Amino acid sequence: MWGEEPENANHARIGRTASVFAMPKALQPSIFPRAAGLVAAMLLLAVASPGAGHVRELIASDRWAEALDEARALAEAAPSDAQARSALGEALYRAGRIDEAAELLAPLSTSPSAPGRALAQLALARTAQGQDAQAAELFGRAVTAASDDRWVVYWASGGAETRAKTVSLLNAYLAKSDGDDPDRIEGAKGTLRLYAALGERKVWVPAARPERTEIPLHPLVDPGRRSGWTIDAALANGKKVRLLLDTGSTGLFVVLRAVKKSGYTPLAEETVFAGGGQGRTPSARGLMETISFGDVLFRDALVTTSKDEFDPQGRIHGVLGLNVFSGYRITLDLAKGRLVLDPPSGSEEGQPYWTVGGQMLVRAAAEGAPEGLFLFDTGATMSNLDNAYAKAVPGAKPSTAAAVSTYGGAVAGATFVRGAKLRFDGLETGGDPVHASDFTQRSRLGGVQISGFLGMDLLDGKIVVIDTTRHRLSVSRPAKN
């Protein structure tokens, strides 16, 4: 993956540790009767935790596995306590158990006195599930219930129906932000600069949107392997730019030199987080007068530009995420080299995916290790594990240093890991090594734990079908003739 920006424009720019997520042994029903268990749980809480606030402190300090254990104990000891349930929902979400968090919090949300934190956390889960209308309603209730909670206000700004409301909420957040995550603060300021330039002007306005279309893809080949697929885009003056098709990115990232004389209008400066280099890359935002992909045409396309090249050989001018094709059923034929856009089928086939901070996440696992959330990433030549998750993979061994590039430059501390096979949707990576690096910043800013990336070593040569309306996707081998 080269770079990413959040789907909801207020979120800080964001561009993965294993746990079995089991109940602590002292609280397992099989060990003691329920009454005795509750007494033990209360004693444990008295020693280990003053309550929901401590769970949230653990989450904020990236000690999410401890937070989940403590939150389970808290909820077991006080099953009718709304704050305890809310804290458990927050811990489940941070641990990447998005649907479990939603299932836990949904009954609580029906109460007129539901805690603002619970409502906001359920709204985040609904956003991840693609249920944006419900999320917006929950965010509104959350702000009403907890307008003094900067965590609630910050995340609610992502569900605001207008930019003006987002600006109001972000200003309210910044007024309370002293001591909060500096990356989050900077991301909020960058969004305010962008929105001051945009106002309520619509972006990515469809000018031609055929019901069905097919767009050719072109292979990007490195020595010994096909490392990705590219798509051509036509700009206002007819100039064509070649973009890496990158499901791990959202929106369009381009090198400035390729677009500045082709209908590009600069708007504001921002920072892209969780890429390469120092993890914080100054970037510019602007509008393209028009841009088309085959027969699909947009006006006022909001793009992120960089002065640095995306490829040392100049083979590509940027990267394109799939969110520009939202509303379609997207087929990536990575065997024949084509992208097909169709109307949604209404089918529930395939695996669920969740969208968090613009990232397309699926549940996958390395052989012998627990499941986690993995970024579905056609922009990654090789799959990648979070350093902490890699340590939980039986037989996996770190090898030599690896040269991994993403938006902003080289990824610090990246290594090769041997002996790890990743599995998803009935497929698995081969015997080649995978990459490993530190995903702490990405996980913290996105709010969920990311265990790795599923890259082209798993996906190339396959047929990927993504239903953007139902948040389902499937990966299969092409049929044999």
Which pLDDT score, from 0 to 100, does residue 413 have?
A: 72
Instruction: Report the C-alpha gap between 71 and 280 in whole angstroms.
Output: 32
- Measured at the CA of 244, the angle between CA 242 and CA 250, to 5 degrees, comes to 120
CA distances from 378 to 153, 296, 384 (A): 34, 21, 12
Segments of the chain with pLDDT less than 70:
1-50, 271-282, 401, 403-412, 431, 481
Which pLDDT score, from 0 to 100, does residue 36 have?
A: 36
The pTM of this model reads 0.84
Ramachandran quadrant class, 279 (left: phi over 0; alpha: psi -120 to 50; beta: rest):
left
CA distances from 137 to 148, 241, 478 (A): 18, 40, 42
Nearest to 239 by CA among 257, 218, 221: 257
For 332, counting Cβ atoms within 10 Å of its Cβ (0-12 exposed, 13-18 middle, 19+ buried), the class is: buried
Q: Which two tokens stand for residue 219?
A: 């292979």
Which pLDDT score, from 0 to 100, does residue 408 have?
A: 54
Greatest Cα pair distance in the chain: 75
Which pLDDT score, from 0 to 100, does residue 57 have?
A: 94
pLDDT tens digits for 20-40? 222 222 222 222 233 333 333
Q: Which two tokens stand for residue 165?
A: 């409301």
pLDDT tens digits for 340-356? 999 998 777 899 999 99
Could you tell me which residues come within 8 angstroms of residue 456 by beta carbon, excluding any fewer than 6 positions away? 225, 226, 227, 228, 378, 380, 381, 382
Instruction: Report the C-alpha gap between 52 and 67 in whole angstroms.
Output: 10
pLDDT tens digits for 164-176? 999 999 999 999 9
